[in-house]
Amino acid sequence: ADSLLSADAVIDGDETPAAALRKLDALLAKSNTPRSERRKLIKALSGGMSGAATNHDGTPGAAEEIKPEIINSLENALAALVK
């Protein structure tokens, strides 16, 4: 009962933005982050576009920055994984 079911395992071979968001969601779920909070964080990171990480039109790094409180919330959730 200590291992993941095959449907819950995250495959590392996919490098797409959508795969990165799925991996992040799985990590947050393992740290007991509520689903509503996970969705809120992922939506903030992805710009609200379902299935996409960001809109890659334009100059990299020229987009608006993510709010510091969202970064802090994400860092706290990820820090809980290593405790």
How many helices and strands (H and E) does the chain possess?
Answer: 3, 0
Structure tokens at 57: 């039109």
pLDDT bin (cut points 50, 70, 90) of residue 62 is: low
What is the structure's pLDDT at 10?
A: 55
CA dist., res. 30 & res. 77, Å (int): 10
- pTM over 0.75? The answer is no
What is the structure's pLDDT at 20?
A: 85
Each residue's pLDDT tens digit, 16-57? 888 888 888 899 899 898 999 989 988 888 776 555 555 555
